[in-house]
Amino acid sequence: MAAASTQADYLTGRCLIAMPGMQDARFEHAVVYLCAHSAEGAMGLIVNRELPDMTLSRLMEQLNIPLTPACAERAVHFGGPVEPGRGFVLHSADFLAEASMLVDKRRALTATLDILRAVAEGRGPRHTLMALGYSGWGAGQLDAEIRANAWLIAPADDGLLFGPDNPKKWQRAIEKLGIDIAKLSSTAGNA
């Protein structure tokens, strides 16, 4: 009889790093921060892929939120293929709105306009990552992908999540694990 899963078995607050040879082009070289992972499924945001024609100031303009210097030309990320018109802000937990979901002690996720107004007014969180869309998995789906060698798992840190240089985040995430990219194989084996 298999042991029951515990919350410690889940990966909330960790990063998924797409393996070379990822079959789904939407996740090729992706680094995904898992905001939630349980027996019911998982939800996360791709933290290293910017939307090419969208900036925070442009988004604020579309939402009729007054622009301020705090809305500098910051990127808006492609959070994933699910609900691409829905916005999410991954942020440091120094700011919490009523609708914020605490991911761990250091980070939260908010999907309401309140956080965008707070950012525009300069009273928002210290670190933010704005994303449209999210990455989602049904019950057991992510676990099966991990067993199939589609993802590496890494601890999250603020530099990886909120830092600049999105094109290099995938490589940096793998290097943090002490892995030589040239030696990675996308084929899995069983002992």
Report if residue 6 sits inside a domain.
no
> Is residue 5 situated within a structural domain?
no
Cα separation, 103 vs 110, in Å, equals 10
Q: Which mean pLDDT values do the consecutive 10-residue runs of the chain (191 residues) have? A: 48 96 92 97 97 88 82 87 95 94 95 90 91 97 95 94 93 90 61 46
- What local confidence, expressed as pLDDT, does residue 73 receive? 74
Q: What is the pLDDT of residue 191?
A: 46
Question: Is this prediction's pTM over 0.85?
Answer: yes
CATH of the domain at 153: 3.40.1740.10
CA gap 131, 133 in Å, rounded: 6
d(CA 109, CA 88): 7
Q: Looking at residue 123, what is its pLDDT?
A: 87
Beta-bridge mates of residue 18: 151
Distance CA 107, CA 128 (A): 10
Helix (H, G, I), strand (E, B) or coil at 24: coil
Q: Which residue range forms the structural domain that includes residue 49? A: 12-179
Domains identified in the chain, total number: 1
